C-alpha cells in the first residue's frame, strides 16, 4: 500500500513524504502539490503502521480538513477516521470541551461558541453600558480592535484606556454567560497548555506526528500552540507546508516571521517542490510576472518560477467594460459558453473578487441567465437572521440558562416583550442570582406582561422536554418552527418570508444529517452539531455534489482550483483595496491576493474591470487595477477588437515609447511624455492638456 501512495508523486514529493525523522518544512509555490504531499504523508504514515490517532493534522479551513480526510480514507480506508484532522479552531474547541474548567475562571464545559455578529452585539452593549463615546474609536472596526488587543496583535489596535475597559467588560460578559469567541478557542487552549503540565504532557505524548497545512498564515498564538504540542523538541516529527507568496491573512495576525522562525527554532530540514501540476504556462507566467513586483519576499524565493508540463494553454483574457453591468453580462455569457461548448461543469468555474459586496450584481444576473451559483461568505447562511433565531431557540431549549440567546428570541416573533421589560428582567435575574429564564417565575411585573412571559416560558419548557425525551433532531426544528409562532410570523412577511422558511428547512437538513453522523442521545447530538455549525463557513456547507458556479472572495478559495477563473472588478481602490495602498506591506499583500487568484485557474483565466461602477447606490469611476496592468504587460501585442455592449478586448502593447507621436479618438494628436507602467502620460493640444491613458487602449493609435 505504501508504494501505491508514493507512486503518484514525483521525486521531491516522495522525499518529503518519506522524511519523518525530524522537523520538516515543505516550502513551495502554488499548485506544486503541497497539500497532496501532506495528505500522502498522513496516508503513508498510517500505511506503514503509525496509529492514526497519533497523527495531528492542522488545516486552515474546515473544508480543507474534510477533503483531506476523504482522500486519506480513499487511500488507507476507515483507519483514517481515527486521525485528528481539523483547523486550529476546531482543535481548540475539541480540547476545551474537555479541559476548559481547569481555568477556574467561571467557564464550564457546556460553553457556547459565539460568532462575530454575536460578539459585535455584546461589544455594542458594553460600549453603551460603559458610556464610552463610540467615535473615540477608529471608525467601524471596534470588534477588530478589541480582538487585536485581546490576542496581542500590537500592530492592529490603538492603545487606549477605553479600549482596555471595553475588552474587560466584554470578556466579563462572555464568562458570565458561559460564552467563548473565536479568539478564546485559541487563547484558552494556549493558556491551558502553558499552565497545566499534566495536560500538556498528555498531548505531547499523544501526538507523535504533527502536520500543518498553509503554515504561512498561522499567527503567533498558533505557533506557540504548535511549539507546546511538539514539546519543543527538534527530534519530534513536525512537518509544515507553506508558500510565503500566498500569505494573505496578516490582518488576522498571520506572521510572516513564523516561516523563518520555524526553520531556526526547529533546525528544520527544508524541501522545495518545483513543478506545478495545476495550470497551463500562460497562466503561470502571469503569476510569475505579478509576484516579481513584490520586493519583500522570502529569502531566495524571488528566483522561483512556476512551471508545468501542461503546455502553454489559452492566453488569459483581459477585458475592460464601460459599466459594471456590462462586465456582469459578459461573465454570464462566457459561463454559458464554457458550459455549453466546452463542456465545463458549473462547479469548475469560479468568479473571484476582493470584497463580498461585489457578488450582488452577479447573483441578480445569474438568476436571469439561469446559471446555478453558490456564494461563499458575505451574508453567510449561518449568519442569516432566521437561521440564527432558530438556533437561538435550540440553544436556549438545550440549556435554559443561556441568557444571551434568550434575549435574542424572547420577542421574536413579537410577544409585547420589548427592550424595557427584557432589561428589567435581566437586572432582576442578576439581583436574585438566577438565569433570566428561571427568574421569570418570580419576576414581578404588570399582569399583561407577566402573562406573555409565562407563555414564552411554557413554550421553551415544551422544547426542553422534547429534547429530554430524545426527539429527532429534524423534528425538533419542526416543533420550534410551528410552536414558537416563528412560522406564522414569516408567512405574514410574504415572498421574503417564504425564502426564509426555505433557509430554515435547509437548516433542518443539516440537523437531519447530524442525526446519523453523531452518536448519543439528542442532547449529545445537539451539542456536537451546534459545535460544528459554530465553526462552519459557507464553503464547508457546500457538499461536493452541488454543481454550481462559485462566487467567492479570493480569501475563501485558498487551496482550491477551478478550470475557469474570472477575476472581476479589477479596479484601483477595490483591488488593491483603498485602505491598503498607502503602505508597502499592505500593497504587497494585496498583490499576493491577486497571485492566489491567478494560481487558482487550471485552464481559463479572465481578468475584467469596468470604468464605472455603482457603489453605495452612487456611480463611481475607477481606474483599472495596477495588478491588471502589471500582468497585462506579459501579453505583448495589441489586438484591439470591438465587440457588442460597448466592451472592448485588448492586450497590452509594449511598443510605445517616450517621444512617440500618437493619435487619440477624442483628444486628437499628442505626444507621449512619460510611461508609468502601462499608463502613458500624453500631452495633447492645449484644449485637452495632459492625460493619462492606458497603452494598448483601442482609442489610442501610434501616428506615423
- Binding footprint of ligand ATP on the chain (CB under 6 A): 8-10, 13, 28, 30-36, 243, 246, 277-278, 559, 561, 599
> Is residue 147 within 8 Å of 183, Cβ to Cβ?
yes
Query: Which residue's C-alpha cell is 427584557?
Result: 422
Distance CA 477, CA 390 (A): 8
Is 600 annotated as catalytic?
yes
Helix, strand or coil, per DSSP, at residue 636: coil
Q: Rounded to the nearest whole angstrom, what is the least distance from the CB of residue 243 to ligand ATP in the complex? A: 5
Residue number, 163 or 601, with CB nearest to ligand ATP:
601
Residue 641 interacts with, from ligand ATP, DNA, none (CB under 5-8 Å by kind):
none
CA atoms within 13 A on the CB side of 649: 11
Beta strand spans in 46-149 (E): 55-59, 84-87, 112-113
Closer residue to DNA, CB minimum distance, 419 or 641: 419
Q: Is 580 in the site for DNA (CB under 7 A)?
A: yes
Active site residue 108: no
User: What residue 559 binds from ligand ATP, DNA, none (CB within 5 to 8 A, per partner kind)?
Assistant: ligand ATP
User: Per CB under 7 A, which of residues 15..54 are in contact with DNA?
Assistant: none
- Residue 13 vs 356, nearer CB to ligand ATP: 13
Question: Which string of DSSP letters, residue by residue, matches 393-432?
Answer: HHHHHH-TT-HHHHHHHTTSS--S--HHHHHHHHHHHHHH
Whether 34 sits among the annotated catalytic residues: the reply is yes
Question: Can you tell me which of 555, 591, 603, 626 binds DNA, judged by CB under 7 A?
Answer: 555
- Residue 277 binding: pick among DNA, ligand ATP, none (C-beta 5-8 Å cut-off by kind): ligand ATP
Q: Is the dihedral of CA 510, 515, 521, 522 positive or negative?
A: positive
Q: How far apart are CA 39 and CA 304, in angstroms?
A: 24
HSE (side-chain half, CA atoms, 13 Å) at 362: 30
| Contact between 416 and DNA per CB under 7 A | yes
| 622 φ, ψ (degrees, to nearest 5) | -125, 145
Which of the residues 82 through 101 are near DNA (CB under 7 A)? 87-90
Provide the minimum distance between the beta carbon of 58 and ligand ATP in the complex, in angstroms, as a whole number. Answer: 15
617 part of the interface to DNA, by CB under 7 A = yes
Q: Which of 425, 430, 438 is nearest to 399 (CA)?
A: 438
Nearer to ligand ATP, 292 or 702 (CB): 292
Q: Which is nearer to DNA, 20 or 144 (CB)?
A: 144
Q: Alpha-carbon distance 623 to 461, whole Å?
A: 59
Q: Does 431 help bind DNA (rule: CB under 7 A)?
A: no
Indicate the residue among 513 and 615 with the shorter CB distance to DNA: 615
Min separation Cβ 8 and ligand ATP, Å = 6
464 near DNA, rule: CB under 7 A = no
109 catalytic? Reply is: no
The b-or-e profile of 178-187 (16+ CB within 10 A means b, else e) is: bbbbbbbbbb
The Cα angle at residue 156 between residues 155 and 160, in degrees rounded to 5: 100
> Of 21, 64, 19, 54, which Cα lies nearest the Cα of 215?
64
Q: Which residues bind DNA (CB under 7 A)?
A: 60-62, 87-90, 115-116, 124, 139-141, 144, 182, 248-249, 251-252, 354-357, 360, 376-377, 379, 411, 414-422, 449, 535, 537, 539, 553, 555-556, 577, 579-580, 614-617
**Active-site amino acid positions:** 34-35, 213-214, 246, 600
Amino acid at each position: 500500500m505504501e508504494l501505491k501512495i508514493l507512486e503518484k508523486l514525483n521525486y521531491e514529493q516522495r522525499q518529503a513524504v518519506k522524511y519523518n525523522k525530524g522537523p520538516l518544512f515543505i516550502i513551495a509555490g502554488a499548485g506544486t502539490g503541497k497539500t497532496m504531499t501532506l495528505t500522502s504523508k498522513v496516508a503513508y504514515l498510517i500505511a506503514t503502521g503509525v496509529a492514526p490517532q497519533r497523527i495531528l493534522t492542522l488545516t486552515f479551513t474546515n473544508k480543507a480538513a474534510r477533503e483531506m480526510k476523504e482522500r486519506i480514507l480513499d487511500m488507507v480506508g476507515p483507519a483514517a477516521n481515527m486521525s485528528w484532522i481539523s483547523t486550529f479552531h476546531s482543535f481548540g474547541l475539541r480540547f476545551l470541551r474537555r479541559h476548559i474548567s481547569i481555568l477556574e475562571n467561571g467557564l464550564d464545559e457546556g460553553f457556547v461558541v459565539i460568532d462575530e455578529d454575536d460578539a459585535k452585539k455584546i461589544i455594542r452593549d458594553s460600549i453603551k453600558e460603559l458610556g464610552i463615546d463610540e467615535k473615540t474609536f477608529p471608525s467601524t472596526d471596534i470588534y477588530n480592535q478589541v480582538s487585536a488587543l485581546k490576542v496581542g496583535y500590537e500592530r492592529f489596535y490603538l492603545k487606549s484606556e477605553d479600549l482596555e475597559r471595553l475588552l474587560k467588560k466584554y470578556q466579563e460578559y462572555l464568562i458570565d454567560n458561559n460564552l467563548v469567541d473565536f479568539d478564546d478557542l485559541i487563547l484558552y487552549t494556549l493558556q491551558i497548555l502553558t499552565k497545566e503540565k499534566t495536560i500538556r504532557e498528555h498531548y505531547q505524548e499523544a501526538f507523535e506526528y504533527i502536520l500543518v497545512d498553509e503554515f504561512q498564515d498561522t499567527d503567533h498564538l498558533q505557533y506557540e500552540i504548535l511549539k507546546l504540542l511538539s514539546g519543543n523538541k527538534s527530534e519530534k516529527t513536525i512537518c509544515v507546508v507553506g508558500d510565503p507568496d500566498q500569505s494573505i491573512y496578516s490582518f488576522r495576525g498571520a506572521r510572516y516571521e513564523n516561516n523563518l522562525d520555524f526553520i531556526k527554532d526547529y533546525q528544520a530540514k527544508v524541501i522545495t517542490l518545483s513543478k506545478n501540476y495545476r495550470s497551463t504556462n500562460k497562466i503561470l507566467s502571469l503569476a510569475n510576472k505579478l509576484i516579481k513586483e513584490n520586493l519583500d519576499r522570502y529569502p531566495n524565493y524571488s528566483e522561483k518560477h512556476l512551471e508545468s508540463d501542461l503546455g502553454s494553454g489559452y492566453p488569459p483574457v483581459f477585458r475592460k467594460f464601460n459599466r459594471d453591468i456590462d462586465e456582469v453580462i459578459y461573465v454570464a455569457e462566457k459561463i454559458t459558453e464554457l458550459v455549453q461548448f466546452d463542456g465545463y461543469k458549473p462547479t469548475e468555474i469560479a468568479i473571484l473578487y476582493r470584497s463580498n459586496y461585489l457578488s450582488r450584481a452577479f447573483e441578480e444576473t445569474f438568476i436571469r441567465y439561469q446559471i446555478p451559483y453558490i456564494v461563499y461568505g458575505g451574508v453567510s447562511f449561518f449568519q442569516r437572521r432566521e437561521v440564527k433565531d432558530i438556533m437561538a431557540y435550540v440553544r436556549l431549549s438545550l440549556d435554559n440558562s443561556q441568557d444571551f440567546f434568550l434575549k435574542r428570541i424572547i420577542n421574536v416573533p413579537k410577544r409585547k416583550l420589548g427592550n424595557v421589560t427584557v432589561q428589567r428582567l435581566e437586572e432582576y435575574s442578576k439581583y436574585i442570582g438566577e438565569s433570566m429564564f428561571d427568574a421569570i417565575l418570580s419576576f414581578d411585573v404588570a399582569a399583561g406582561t407577566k402573562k406573555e412571559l409565562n407563555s414564552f416560558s411554557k413554550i421553551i419548557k415544551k422544547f426542553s422536554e422534547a429534547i429530554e425525551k430524545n426527539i429527532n433532531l429534524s423534528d425538533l426544528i419542526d416543533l420550534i418552527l410551528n410552536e414558537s409562532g416563528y412560522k406564522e410570523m414569516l408567512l405574514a412577511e410574504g415572498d421574503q418570508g417564504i425564502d426564509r422558511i426555505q433557509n430554515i428547512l435547509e437548516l433542518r437538513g443539516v440537523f437531519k444529517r447530524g442525526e446519523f453522523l453523531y452518536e448519543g442521545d439528542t442532547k449529545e447530538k445537539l451539542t456536537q452539531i451546534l459545535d460544528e455549525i459554530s465553526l462552519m463557513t459557507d464553503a464547508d456547507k457546500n457538499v461536493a455534489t452541488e454543481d454550481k458556479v462559485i462566487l467567492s472572495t479570493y480569501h475563501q478559495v485558498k487551496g482550491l482550483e477551478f478550470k475557469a477563473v474570472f477575476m472581476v472588478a479589477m479596479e484601483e481602490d477595490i483591488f488593491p483595496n483603498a485602505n491598503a495602498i498607502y503602505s508597502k506591506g499592505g500593497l504587497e499583500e494585496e498583490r499576493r491576493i491577486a497571485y492566489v487568484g491567478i494560481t487558482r485557474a487550471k485552464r481559463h483565466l479572465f481578468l475584467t474591470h469596468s470604468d464605472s461602477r455603482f457603489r453605495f447606490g452612487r456611480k463611481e469611476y475607477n481606474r483599472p487595477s495596477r495588478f491588471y496592468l502589471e500582468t497585462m504587460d506579459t501579453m505583448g501585442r495589441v489586438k484591439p477588437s470591438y465587440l457588442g455592449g460597448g466592451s472592448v478586448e485588448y492586450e497590452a502593447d509594449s511598443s510605445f515609447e517616450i517621444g512617440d507621436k500618437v493619435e487619440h479618438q477624442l483628444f486628437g494628436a499628442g505626444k507621449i511624455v512619460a510611461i508609468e507602467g502601462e499608463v502613458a502620460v500624453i500631452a495633447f493640444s492645449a484644449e485637452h492638456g495632459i492625460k493619462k491613458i492606458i497603452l494598448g487602449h483601442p482609442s489610442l493609435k501610434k501616428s506615423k
